[in-house]
Amino acid sequence: MPGFELFGEQERKQVEEVLDTGVLMRYGFDAMRNGQWKALELETALAKRMQVKHAQLVSSGTSALTVALACAGVGAGDEVIMPTFTFVASFESILALGAVPILVDVDDTLALHPEAVEKAITEKTRVIMPVHMCGSMADLKSLKSLCEKHGLLLLEDACQAIGGTFEGKPLGSYGDLGCFSFDYVKTITCGEGGALITNNDTYKLKADHYSDHGHDHVGNDRGAETHAFLGYNYRISELNAAVGLAQIDRLDEFLAIQQRNYTILREALKVIPEVSFRRVPLGGEESYAFLNFFLPDETTAKKVHRAFGNEGVDACFYWYDNNWHYYRKWEHLTNLKALGKLPQAVYEQLPDYNKADFTKSDHWVGRTISCLIKLGWQEKEVQLRADKMVDIILNSL
């Protein structure tokens, strides 16, 4: 990742077909579009690839999460369990619906810790939302068992893990709903875009309507469409969908490159006794979008990360100090910094995260370095990078 590194003729051809019609909107203007329906084509291709009945394209991964929650009926006062290590979009999508984000520790998968999840379940819990950060997954089997035990929905945020699998199923397809991001730095990019997938006919119908102002999309006269319920504008454009349509055809190509580059780096680093790797649950296979490894302690991890930067080893991240992806610097959430009044349920039910104890998450994330696996790297280049990383780590211990 990201897919933009390998933009070429396939993407250009798809975009030009849209521009030739002049129709950039995914709905309407039937007579002008010369049979071009890129968003619909991408939804069909994505559903087939993810082995599900339905896909709904939207404008972003954040939109996908919001629409997924909405179509499942999540609203004010409902609680959604999510991890401390994720992207801010996770709690943004929950709060957008008036629901309450309940942060829970991660374990050595760098995803939701099932035991911590069960302790966080209350009578107001509606959804368990694992986030498959950095190309790998949560312990989905245990989380699904918890959902079945407590009558909850399992919503997979697979925005950073397209192409990974669990028990032979594509990530995103294991739960009741799954979400993807196709923003500019994802393995498959639309420039901006996202999607939700499901096997539930009702969720698909509601997602279709909700993401387009509640339009029922019945008939061929957009002005005569009715509205069964309130909706919002989370539409994707035909231009963005066109890029994604080219990219999804290349997913296997991208995954093979990621796996090759990932493997070279991991094989080099695994000879260092002080380095260990995130746990991939039994039955799972990463998307190989990131190589995630642990160092003995927080001090060493910071030292190594700093040395990587000084020595020109780019695209490696120390999430513990990152204000987008780890709870420690989410002051806008913990202090509820909003432009307007939030629902009363949020004020009443949101835990005081300024006083929360997430030391179990700190234990893992504080020792983690994540290295982005680029598609544009050549094999020899990756080997030189691996050798340099090994030298830096050994000199930092």
- Positions marked catalytic: 186
Token pair belonging to 164: 């990974």
The CA radius of gyration of the chain, in Å to the nearest whole number, is 21
In angstroms, the CA 233 to CA 212 distance is 5
For residue 65, which amino acid is it? L
In angstroms, the CA 221 to CA 268 distance is 60
Strand order in the sheet with 316-317: 276-277, 290-294, 368-372, 316-317
Cβ–Cβ under 8 Å, residues 144 and 127? no
Nearest to 188 by CA among 235, 243, 151: 243
Cβ–Cβ under 8 Å, residues 57 and 79? no
Residue 75 burial (CB < 10 Å; 0-12/13-18/19+)? middle
- With the C-alpha atoms ordered 136, 57, 60, 260, is the resulting torsion angle positive or negative? positive
Q: Residue 113: how many CA atoms within 13 Å on its side-chain side? A: 20
Q: Write the DSSP assignment of 295-332 as a string of letters.
A: -SSHHHHHHHHHHHHHTT--SEE-GGG-TTTBGGG-HH
Strand order in the sheet with 194-198: 54-58, 194-198, 177-181, 153-157, 125-128, 79-83, 100-104
Q: What angle is formed at CA 126 by the lines to CA 120 and CA 131, rounded to 5 degrees?
A: 70
